[in-house]
Structure 1
Amino acid sequence: MNINYKNFQVDKNLPLLICDADEVLFEFMHSFERYLNENNMYFTYKSFKLSGNIYTKDNNDIIKESRIPNIISDFFKNYTSKMPLIIGAKETLNTLKKHLNIIILSNIPEESANDRICLLKKNDMDYNFISNKGPKGEICKELEKLTNNKVFFIDDLPNQIKSVKLNTTKITTIHFLQNKKLLEIIPRVKYSDFNAKNWDEIKKIILNNI
C-alpha cells in the first residue's frame, strides 16, 4: 500500500472526497474488454466478478482463476496510460474541488500506479493519489482524520462500500456505477448512503450534503 497521506496538502476545515478510479473516473470494463479481445479472450458478464467470466475465443474454455492476477497485471501494464475518462468525471471534480479536498484511492498494481498518476495529470486531474490493495476500510479510517468536516467516499464495488461503512465513523458512502452491462448483474448494494449512475447525480448528492 502506498500511503503518503500525511504529506498531503489538505485543508482540515473543508470536507474530504475519497474517490475510486477504475469504473468511477476511468472506463475500466470497456478497456478490459478491448484488452481481452486483443489477447484472444472475451468477457461473458454472467456475474459481478472477474473469475468465471473470462473465456478463450478459440475453444470457449474458461480461464482458470489462478491466471487472472497475471491477466489483470498485464492489462494494467498495457492500458493504464490510455483508459478513457468516464463522462462527467473531470468536469465534476473540477467543480467539487472548489468546495472540498480530493484524494484518489485506487486499487491498482504498484508498478502501474505512476502511469495512473501521469494520466490523471494529463487530464488536468492532479489530485492527491494513493495506490491501495484489498479492502479500503482501514485506509479510509485513517484518511477521515485529515479533516474536521464531512467525508464522502465513492466506489463502484459493493464490497468496498461495505468495507468503508463498517470501518469508519463519519464517512458518507456513495455507490457509483454507470456501465449498463454491469448494472444488470450487480448484487444489491446494502451499505451505501447514496447510489448514483452518473456524475451529475454525484455532484448534487455532495453539494446538497456538505
Structure 2
Amino acid sequence: MRASSDAHRSRTHQACRPPLIVCDVDDVVLQFATPFEAFLLERGYSLLPRSFKLTGNIVDAAETALNDVAVNALIHDFFIEQDRWQTPFAEAVDSLHALAEEADLVFLTAMPPRHAEVRRRLLDRLTLSYPMISSEEPKGPIVAALHGKRALPLAFVDDMVGNLRSVGEHVPDCALVYLPPDVAIFRFAPDPEPHVLRAQDWAEARGLIETHFRN
C-alpha cells in the first residue's frame, strides 16, 4: 500500500510541475549583431560579413581585419555597455510572458559571467525577470542538469546550431527551436539538423513551443 501511495504522490507532484523552456539571449531575445555593428562604427570599425564568425570580419578604416585579441576586447567593451545598445526583438517580450504562464522559463546566455550583472539589470528593465544562467560552457550538460529526470516537456531556443546540437545530444526528447536573426552574417551560418524546428520570428517560435507542450 505504501509503494502505491508513494507512486501516486510522485505522479501528483509531476502533474503540478510545469514544462520547462530554456532560452538563449543574444540574437534570440536581445538583438546583438545589429547593435554591435553600430557600436563598431562608433569606434571606427566595420563588420564585413564574409564568413560565420567575428574574427576576420571586423575591419578598421583600411579594411584590415582585427585579430582575436582586438575582437575579444571589443566584445568585452560592448557587453560592459550592453544596456545602452541592446533592445528586444519584436514580439519577444510578449511571447515570453505568454509562454511563462504555462512553463518555467530560464535564460541561458553564452557570455562571460563577469557581465551577468549588467545583463540582469537590462532584462529586469524589460520586465523579463526570469532566472538567468551566464556561462561559456557547452549548453547541453547545463540544460540536462536543469531538466533532471522530470517527465515533462522541455523546449530549448537558440540561434546557434552548435548549441542546439549539444542540447539534443544530452536531452534527446527536447524540442529544439532554431531562431536565427535576419542579419547578413547569418547567411553564412550552417543549417540545423532536420529534426530541429526553425522559426522565422517569435510568434512562430511561440506556436512551435506551445504545440510541443500540447503534444
User: TM over 0.5: same fold?
Assistant: yes
Q: Which residue of 1 aligns with 2:5?
A: none
Q: Which stretch shifts more, 105-114 or 187-196?
A: 187-196
Q: 2:205 aligns with which of 199, 202, 209?
A: 202
TM-score after normalising by structure 1: 0.89
CA distance in 2, matches of 1:191, 1:76: 33
Larger Rg over CA atoms: 2
Q: Which residue of 1 aligns with 2:127?
A: 124
CA distance in 1, matches of 2:106, 2:132: 6
Q: How many pairs align?
A: 199
Q: Which runs of 5+ in 2 are unaligned?
A: 1-14
- C-alpha displacement at 1:170, in angstroms? 2.4
- C-alpha displacement at 1:55, in angstroms? 0.4
8 Å CA contact 1:12–1:146 kept in 2: the answer is: no
The structure whose residues are more often helix, as a share, is 2
RMSD (Å), alpha carbons: 1.7
- 1:10-159 map, 5 Å: 13-57=17-61, 59-145=62-148, 147-159=150-162
8 Å CA contact 1:174–1:194 kept in 2: the answer is: yes
Report which structure shows greater RCO (CA 8 Å, sep ≥6): 1
The structure whose residues are more often strand, as a share, is 1
CA distance in 2, matches of 1:67, 1:132: 22
8 Å CA contact 1:19–1:103 kept in 2: the answer is: yes
Cα 1:152–1:15 shift into 2, 3 Å: same
- C-alpha displacement at 1:191, in angstroms? 6.3
8 Å CA contact 2:34–2:183 kept in 1: the answer is: no
Q: Which residue of 2 aligns with 1:3?
A: none
Over residues 71-118 of structure 1, what are the superposed CA-to-partner deviations in whole Å (9 max), with x where a residue is unaligned? 211111122454111111100011111111100000122221111111
The letter of the residue matching 2:139 is K
In percent, how many aligned pairs have the same letter?
25
- C-alpha displacement at 1:21, in angstroms? 0.2
8 Å CA contact 1:19–1:104 kept in 2: the answer is: yes
